[in-house]
Structures are given as C-alpha cells and as structure tokens.
Amino acid sequence: MKCGQPATHKITKIIKGEVHEISLCDKHAQEFSPYLHIDSNNQTKIIEILQNILKSQQQEPGEETIEVKSEGPICANCKLTYAAYRKTLLLGCSDCYKAFETELLDDLRKIHGATSQDPHNTPAHTETKRHQVSVSENDVLLKQVIAVEAAAKPEPGKTPTTAEQIILLEAQLQAAITEEEYQIAAEIRDSIKTLKEQSEKPEE
Amino acid sequence: MTTQADFIRSCDEWLKKDGPMHHSVVSSRARIARNLEHIPFAPRARKEQLRAVVERIDEAIAAAPFFSEFRRLSIGDLHSLYRGYLKESHLLSSELEQGGEHRIIYISPDYRISIMINEEDHLRIQCLDVGCQINKVQAILNEVEKELSKALHFAHSDRFGYLTACPTNVGTGLRLSVMLHLPGLVLINKIDEVVQSILQYGLTVRGIYGEHSENLGDYFQVSNEVTLGKTPEELFNMIQRMTEKVIEREVEARDALFEQKPMIAKDMLNRALATLKNSWIMDSAEALAHLSKIRLGINRGHFHPLNHADLSRLMIEVQPNHLQCRKGTQLPEEQRDTMRAEMLHQRLKDVSYN
C-alpha cells in the first residue's frame, strides 16, 4: 500500500463493463467509499449495508423515502450543489470555493497533498508525497467511480427511478460476489431480474 | 494577411529552430489556467455568459499593444481537420479540439503563445519553445499574464490561490511540462525504472502519441502533478532538476548502447531508414517507431543532412490531420497510410546512413 499502511481492503469496481481492483488500507478505504463501513474490529460490514439498502429499496410506494444524505451546501452565485460537484469534480464558479470551503479540503489534500496555497498552512508533505503517486494513477478512476456512485444514489425526496435502482443493485451484486456472500448475491440478482421485467412492461 | 488555412498550416514554424538539449528534450511548455470572478466556469456557463467572457477577454487583448499581431481564431468556425492540425502541433488542447461555440484561440505570430478562451477555464494560456527552456517559457507566460491582468481581474482567494473549474488546477494553476525523447532508455529497458523515479518525485509521465497515450515514438511528457501549496519557483525547480537527471540517464543509455553493441545499433538505424524509404503503406504508429530511431541516429552523427528539428517536425507531419490538410480533405485510413509512405520517401530521398 503506497501510503505505508497494510492494504486490508480490496475494492472491485465495475465501470463500463471493465473490472478495476484497488487495494486500500483501512483509512483510505473509509475515505474512498461511503458504502464501506469499517467497524472497530476492522471487519467490512458490506453485508449489513447491503441489507439496509435493500430494505430501503423495498418500501411500499406511497411511503416516504428515507433521506439518504443531504445535497450539502449550495453556491449562492451559480446554484451548484456540493452533491452535483461530486458527480463531475468540476466547480461552478469562483464563489463555489467559498461555499464549499470545508468540504473541498479533503479533495485538495488527496490531489495536492496540501489544502492551501500558503505553505505555512499545509500539513507536512512527507507522508502525503507517496500517496500522491497512487492518486495520480487512480485519479481518472477516482473521478469515474465517484460519478458511478453518485449516479446510482437517488436524490433525496425523489423516489429512485427503476434505472437508478438497477445500477445500485448491480454495484451491490459485485460487492457481494467479492465478499463471497453468494446467498445475498442470489437475492440481489433476483431483485435486479424483477426490476428489469417490471421496466419492460407497458406503462399502466 | 495570410488566409486562415495558410496561417494554421504554418503553425509548426516554432519547431524549426534548434534548442538546448534538443537530442533528448523536444520542447518545453508552460500553461496557466485563470478565470473571471463570479461568472460561472465554462462547463457550467450559459451561452450569454460564455459570450460575455469572450467579449471581456477580447477587449482586454485589443487594448494591449503586446497582442496586436496575434491572430484570433473562432474554434466553432474551424473545420475539424484544422482543429486536429492545431492539436497535433500542440497549440490547441484536446478539449478545444472537440469544437464548440464561444471558444476562441489567439495565437502569436511566431506560434509560440496561445491564449484559449472558454476551455475548461475561462482562460488557458500556454507558451511553447524548443528544447529545454522551461524558465524561458515560464517567463514569457508571466509577461502574457501581466498584460492580461491590466484589464482583467482573475478569480483568486488568499487561501486557495487562483481559482479553477477543476480542483486539480487550483493554486498556481500552473502546469510545466517537457516533451522528452528517450529512445536510449527504452532500448536498454531502463525506461520503467526512470518513469517510476519520476513518479516518486511528484511528477506525472505520459506518452503523447497513440490513442491510450502509449509511448509511441519513445516520446514522454513529464509535468508537475501538484499545483497547490507550491510556488511557481518550486514547481520550476522540481521539473528542471528531474529533466536534468533524466537527460543524464538517457545520454548514459545511448553511450552504453552504441559503445557496447555497435552492430546492433548500426543494424537498427539502417533498417529504420530502409523501411521508411521503401514502404508503400505506413501507419502512424510504425512511422513514429522508425522516425524515433532516425532521430536517435542524428544524435550519433548519422543521417545527414537531417537535424533534430527536422525530425521533431516530421514526427508531427505524419499525424493524420497534418496529412489530410495537405490534401485539403478528409481521407480514409488506407489512403492516409499510402500518402504517409510517399511523403516519407520524398523527405528522405537524399538521406543516407553516413
């Protein structure tokens, strides 16, 4: 693991049909994906997360959907939301840097190993320099992955469309297969099949 | 006043001169990204806003005598062949090669400075020159920026420096790069090691030819990765030092090859020339591979009357858009491949190994 910590997590991502595997330590795995939940025993509780998400997908129509995560701050000038920024990694205008000041620090640290132009404000470069190497190789991948994850997340307050649900489930299917939880994988596969059949039926 | 087409077709002029360390450093480039305050960045701006950005920058350029000889081209009005041509000559970015409205490029009469409006950022300014001249291109770039900032106020914050559409450019907004020709290291299989050490240093390396940026032609572009938290001087030092180290390694590699395996080297160079002079179908990947050997041979005293600059230009002239612009029309791949082979016969007919 390039940051010096042992690589305890292997993440498999399917992007446009291509399989990408990334090995990360605990800390970077947690930063990398909100789907991973690492508890104090360092066990990845993917299964619990999957079960929770599946449960929320199976709500009766008419029930209010649970607010997954807020859109985050919004730029008063160009109206870009932080959530929308995450989808493309492109900011809307110069004022966005003020609006998302706190939230941007993480990305800036990952990209540049620094969070400001003033060298006295930056953390020590030593441990982050080698991490920059892994970021440069994975940078394009990181953007794509963030886009896939964000595309799969339904906007709060809106019922996720069938297409969104299918994308989400397919990602979960791959995670379950990686974790060798074939029972869960089978259930997810069935859910996907049902959703696909539903979406092919004529509208009522 | 030359026609637009003629102007564009001469845009490789800057490569005709010889430059420092030309045998290993084909060219140097400095580029900055700047934006106007409050107006949404180009990817998010509406048409009227993009137009307003163009107007503001046009005004600033018109007001400065420094830019009086610059040529203004409207990207949306350029045929894709000409956009491609400018991209192959490194004047236009791949973003602008896609086309689009309200996108302008200003080019200096010596073709070394280009000012792009409404790329990913409102302003992308770039300065090129031959050989290893990073400090020179950086200095010229600073001058251009100074001229523009007389009339324009660039978005900047004390904390984050110059503000850019993508956080990967924020801070100095400065990307310094060198285009290296490293056939020696490739041939003795030391290139991976050198690439790794460049990466460890905090710089990026990529090939510049080929669909997936493979290292066709043994060309490698080295740039700084980080733009935030470092001063322009620090970025210059990083890339200058690394370039000097890599040049040393490349020279060692070439010496080792030619001193220890002179027959292999002689055979390889002669085959490259013979293939280029005698083929009737030549695709660009193969052309670049052979031309790379010729360029190496020139460094070792062969292939008169050619010099390094001739090869730097030739390696661009075999690219698809350059070929098609010569004919003035789009051509299918087969025809490009035969055209390329013929062009190479022409250019190399008076060249021999000695």
On the question of pLDDT at A202 being above 60, the answer is no
On the question of pLDDT at B11 being above 70, the answer is yes
Q: Tell me, what's the pLDDT at A5?
A: 72
On the question of pLDDT at A60 being above 60, the answer is no
On the question of pLDDT at B188 being above 70, the answer is yes
Q: Can you read off the two tokens belonging to residue B233?
A: 């001087």
* Chain mean pLDDT for chain A: 66
Of B155, B200, B228, the CB nearest to A114: B228
- ipTM comes to 0.86
Comparing alpha-carbon positions, the chain A residue that sits nearest to B46 is A78
On the question of pLDDT at B323 being above 50, the answer is yes
CB atoms A114 and B200 under 8 Å: no
Q: Tell me, what's the pLDDT at A66?
A: 46
CB atoms A91 and B157 under 8 Å: no
Question: Among candidates B79, B68, B85, which has minimal Cα distance to B8?
Answer: B85
Of B164, B165, B225, the CB nearest to A136: B225
Q: Does the pTM of the predicted model rise above 0.90?
A: no
B76/A contact by beta carbon, under 8 A: no
Q: Tell me, what's the pLDDT at B124?
A: 96
pLDDT-based confidence at A44, cuts 50/70/90? Answer: very low
* DSSP-derived secondary structure letter, B71: E
Comparing alpha-carbon positions, the chain B residue that sits nearest to A77 is B38
Read off the pLDDT of residues A20-29 as tens digits, 9 standing for 90 and up. 667 777 777 6
CB atoms A91 and B165 under 8 Å: yes
Query: CA-based Rg of chain B, rounded to a whole angstrom?
Result: 21
How confident is the model over B66-95, as a mean pLDDT? 93
Which residues between 181 and 200 in chain B have a beta carbon less than 8 angstroms from any beta carbon of chain A?
199-200
Comparing alpha-carbon positions, the chain B residue that sits nearest to A130 is B200
Which residues between 86 and 125 in chain B have a beta carbon less than 8 angstroms from any beta carbon of chain A?
120
Q: Where are the alpha helices (DSSP H) in chain B?
A: 4-9, 47-62, 80-88, 94-97, 134-148, 183-187, 191-200, 232-260, 262-278, 284-299, 308-317, 320-327, 333-348
A89/B contact by beta carbon, under 8 A: yes
Lowest mean pLDDT among A164-168, B169-173, B203-207, B345-349: A164-168
Question: Among candidates A146, A29, A23, A31, which has minimal Cα distance to A84?
Answer: A146
pLDDT-based confidence at A138, cuts 50/70/90? Answer: very low
B14 with B112: CB under 8 angstroms? Answer: yes
On the question of pLDDT at A127 being above 70, the answer is no
CB atoms A116 and B159 under 8 Å: yes
Q: Tell me, what's the pLDDT at A13?
A: 61
How confident is the model over B166-180, as a mean pLDDT? 95
Task: Give the span between the Cα atoms of B312 and A136, in whole angstroms.
Answer: 28
* Chain mean pLDDT for chain B: 94
Read off the pLDDT of residues B259-294 as tens digits, 9 standing for 90 and up. 999 999 999 999 999 999 999 999 999 999 999 999
B159/A contact by beta carbon, under 8 A: yes
Element containing residue B152 per DSSP (H, E)? none
Q: Tell me, what's the pLDDT at A132?
A: 35
Q: Where are the alpha helices (DSSP H) in B134-283?
A: 134-148, 183-187, 191-200, 232-260, 262-278
pLDDT-based confidence at A126, cuts 50/70/90? Answer: very low
Q: Tell me, what's the pLDDT at A40?
A: 43
How confident is the model over B38-42, as a mean pLDDT? 94
